[in-house]
Amino acid sequence: MMMSEESMNLDVRPPSNPVEDLLRMERMPHIWCPGCGIGTTVNCFARALETSGLDLKKTAIVSGIGCAGRVAGYMKLDSFHTTHGRAIPFATGLKLANPGLKVIVYSGDGDLVAIGGNHFIHAARRNVDMTVILLNNHIYGMTGGQVAPTTPVGATASTAPHGNFEESFNLPYLAESCGAVYVARWTAYHVRHATKSIKEALLKKGFSFVEILAPCPTLYSRRNKLGDGLAQMKYYAAQSEIRNEADTKTVGLAFQGKIIVGKFVDREKPTYLDAMNAFYARKFGEGYEPY
């Protein structure tokens, strides 16, 4: 069959990704390893932003150090790449200095609940108005595969070659017990659920927290003989159980065990700034709002 000259000149370029407008495409390709789940979560985040209705000119994203800490640099937002473990206090400063900003922290488990664990619990306790998206790959990814506070008992790491014997954090329980008003957990397999939860968290007033489990095939899966990124995604599909409103005390993670996912907490509480403004209004009269 002969093709016409007109059909031979058709533009056959593939359609662009609908989230490209939210990404710094000049920085692509990204640094993440093949099979890493971080890129998938960034797509979920971008789609949530796209449909959130937020004014992106008044939206800032902050990250720390590590593989997930590179997310801020790829987003076409006001982006801040901070020192290790200090993303949350930096974000707190942004929010206090400019209460009109929507402030998002996007980083990894080693950054946010190991080096930055103290800041995590106190920002949740104060109910600072920010959204924290935590990528949990059970390991310190960028710095060499060391044991993290999220490494399950029995898993091996570069600093635990014979297996980890330390109990890991149950992050949803930690977040809820410290005061978070929104808590959810999904995996990189649950893209639609994760997107919906991120959008809900972005629109929630107060300290909102979304944990997303993501494979680290290079330093976690390989060392633990779990296969490649696809094998881990199949594990997420097979072992995840959606249990919305589950008691967060019961959703701890074991090595390659069942994964309880869902939206666990959605409640209302005064934010840090609300409480401060209410205090000053009582002290100096209604209408007095220093922040």
Asked if 60 and 101 count as a contact pair (C-beta separation under 8 A), the reply is: yes
- What's the pTM value of the predicted model, to 2 decimals? 0.91
Confirm if 36 and 233 have CB atoms less than 8 A apart.
Answer: no
- Check whether 5 has a pLDDT greater than 70: no
Predicted confidence band of residue 290 (pLDDT cuts 50, 70, 90): low
Give the chain's mean pLDDT: 92
In this predicted structure, the answer to whether residue 12 has a pLDDT above a threshold of 70 is no
**Phi, psi torsion values for 96, nearest 5 degrees:** -70, -35
Cα 103–Cα 104–Cα 109 angle in degrees, nearest 5: 145
Class of domain 30-284: alpha beta
- At 280 the pLDDT is 83
Q: Calculate the CA 60 to chain-centre distance.
A: 14
- Tokens coding 9: 């000149």
pLDDT tens digits, one per residue of 13-69: 667 777 888 999 998 899 999 999 999 999 999 999 999 999 999 999 999 999 998
* Residue 183 contacts residue 248 (beta carbons within 8 Å): yes
Q: Helices in 53-101 by DSSP H: which ranges?
A: 71-74, 87-97
Residue 288 has pLDDT above 70, yes or no: no
CA 61 to chain CA centroid, Å, is 11
pLDDT at res. 199:
98
47 half-sphere exposure, CB direction, 13 A CA radius: 15
Residue partners of 162: CB distance under 8 A and separation at least 6: 156
- Which token pair is 80? 């801040």
Whether 287 has a pLDDT exceeding 80, the answer reads no
Residue 279 is predicted with a pLDDT of 85
Whether 185 and 173 have beta carbons less than 8 Å apart is answered as no
What per-residue confidence (pLDDT) applies to 46?
96
Task: Please write the tens of the pLDDT for every residue from 97-123.
Answer: 999 999 999 999 999 999 999 999 999
| pLDDT over 90 (residue 285) | no
Is residue 241 within a helix (H) or strand (E), and if so which, with residue range? strand 240-242
